[in-house]
Amino acid sequence: MAWRVANALEALLAQLDALAPNRSRVSDGSIGDTSHQNRSSDHNPWYGPGIVTARDFTHDPGGGLDCRWLAARLVEVRDRRIKYVIWDRRIVDSRISPWVWRPYHGPNPHTGHLHLSVLPDPSCDDVTPWDLGVPVSDHFEEQSVELTAGTFVSKTLVCPSVAADLVISLGFVSFTVHHVKFFGATPESGAAELASHGEQFVDPARPYVLPVPAGALTAEILYTLPVVTPQHTAVAAFR
């Protein structure tokens, strides 16, 4: 079954990775393992067309991500997309005893990672930046992400807040970009698709360059890439 993670969670993941690029990801998670598949869990792709509405984020204060801070911030802001948060043997729900911490007695105490579930409705794909209390910079250093090999692989990147180009390139091996979509937010409808680019065959000698539209918050890249060796590294970068 094809599945993907809710875009709102992917947007938060990208923000946290930008905030703490060297953090541990040992307990990060999205799609559930066998134990999750045998019970009711938001880690299963049960909403809509195979959408996973939960993500786990590793507690790594030394690496820059303290889940004590993240839990407190999520509850303080009360983002409308949140269904519930589990952290350190406690759970807080936006619907049941709203925003009041209660004891959690599940099989995992969630002391090594924070669990966040978003609501199973269209807001789960709202990519409006999460309010983490971190100021947005008016400049950016060049950033890139490695594209892993696979068929119809989806990657979501957080766009810089200043004018830039999205550059997709791969040395020596051609590959196919099925689409690139840029998303932003509008007062009328929240998340909105700002621009969409169709299938493009990427020539190794000529990178695929797209201007980031004004107001774009995230970029979604869907591609098919053959096996990559260290000498044939594919990257998507904002420059």
Q: pLDDT band at 124, cuts 50/70/90?
A: very high
Instruction: Show which of 125, 155, 189 is a domain's final residue.
Output: 125
Instruction: Show which of 60, 94, 125 is a domain's final residue.
Output: 125
Q: CATH number for the domain including 177?
A: 2.60.120
- Residue 156 lies inside a defined structural domain of this protein: yes
Instruction: Show which of 125, 152, 186 is a domain's final residue.
Output: 125
Task: Give the chain's radius of gyration (CA, Å).
Answer: 18
Give the separation between CA 175 and CA 164, rounded to whole angstroms.
Answer: 23
pLDDT at 205 over 80: no
Q: pLDDT band at 228, cuts 50/70/90?
A: low
Tokens of 36: 């999750």
For residue 40, what are the domain limits? 4-125
- Residue 181 lies inside a defined structural domain of this protein: yes
DSSP 48-106: TTTEE-EEEEE-BGGGTB-HHHHHHHHHHHT-TTEEEEEETTEEEESSSSTT--EE--S
For residues 139 and 52, the model is more confident at 52
CB-based contacts of 204: which residues, under 8 Å, 6+ apart? 169, 170, 171, 172, 173, 174
CA 154 → CA 50, 116, 137, distances in Å? Answer: 14, 21, 27
Whether 157 and 227 have beta carbons less than 8 Å apart is answered as no
Structural domains in the chain (count) = 2
What is the model's pLDDT at position 189? 44
pLDDT at 174 over 90: no
Q: Are residues 117 and 174 in the same domain?
A: no
| Angle at CA of residue 27, ends 13 and 18, nearest 5° | 25
**Per-residue pLDDT tens over the stretch 111-122:** 999 999 999 999
Q: Are residues 17 and 119 in the same domain?
A: yes
What is the model's pLDDT at position 188? 47
Q: Are residues 14 and 120 in the same domain?
A: yes
Q: Are residues 9 and 121 in the same domain?
A: yes
What is the model's pLDDT at position 146? 79
- Residue 136 lies inside a defined structural domain of this protein: no
- Residue 53 lies inside a defined structural domain of this protein: yes
pLDDT at 139 over 60: no
- Residue 131 lies inside a defined structural domain of this protein: no
Give the separation between CA 218 and CA 125, rounded to whole angstroms.
Answer: 11
3-state secondary structure of 123: helix
- Residue 224 lies inside a defined structural domain of this protein: yes
Mean pLDDT taken over the chain: 82
What is the model's pLDDT at position 114? 97
Q: Are residues 100 and 148 in the same domain?
A: no
- Residue 133 lies inside a defined structural domain of this protein: no
Q: Are residues 95 and 196 in the same domain?
A: no
Q: Are residues 114 and 181 in the same domain?
A: no
Whether 3 and 210 have beta carbons less than 8 Å apart is answered as no
Q: Are residues 20 and 115 in the same domain?
A: yes
Q: Are residues 83 and 163 in the same domain?
A: no
Secondary structure of 15-46 as H, E, C letters: HHHHHCCCCCCCCCECCCCHHHHCCCCCCCCC
Q: Are residues 167 and 103 in the same domain?
A: no
Classify residue 45 as exposed, middle or buried by CB count within 10 Å of its CB (0-12, 13-18, 19+): buried
What is the model's pLDDT at position 185? 59
What is the model's pLDDT at position 135? 46
pTM of the model: 0.59
For residues 205 and 181, the model is more confident at 181
Q: Are residues 157 and 206 in the same domain?
A: yes
CB-based contacts of 11: which residues, under 8 Å, 6+ apart? 127, 128, 129, 130, 156, 158, 217, 218
Q: Are residues 188 and 79 in the same domain?
A: no
- Residue 193 lies inside a defined structural domain of this protein: yes
Q: pLDDT band at 234, cuts 50/70/90?
A: confident
